[in-house]
Structure 1
């Protein structure tokens, strides 16, 4: 099973970003959450879609540089978590 297939089958919204926080992959649940297609989302910064942009950028950077899982924080109606993905 490919990683994309596994992520696509998850019941939660998932977005994968590069080191700059730009979206490289989303599953269907994430597209539904934001009401945007992967074609639209790909290449955009994840922080563009949430109100607390600075905190999101900070947490993304921390998860990449420190290789830490950030167990989430609430941004209005959303609970966001960040984790390095090893493939």
Structure 2
């Protein structure tokens, strides 16, 4: 399967940054989520595999949560309502 991705200029800047913390903002449907997904994929593929060919890494993705009914997946407590965190 071939999937092509061409970054818009703002996402291209994000892809070229090695800063520990990076952020992106822009209008709805401008490609922010798609670009960030590609960035995770790119970073994961650049990482050297450890023993057994496994690549271990962690990423944090933070998005706006607007209401008390939004569920968040937590590492130790599973799915939790945003208001209960």
Q: TM-score range by the shorter chain?
A: under 0.3
Q: Which has the higher strand share?
A: 1
TM-score, normalised with respect to structure 1: 0.25
Q: Which has the higher helix share?
A: 1
- Higher RCO by CA contacts (8 Å cutoff, separation 6 or greater): 1
TM-score, normalised with respect to structure 2: 0.26
**Computing the radius of gyration over CA atoms, which structure comes out larger, 1 or 2?**
2
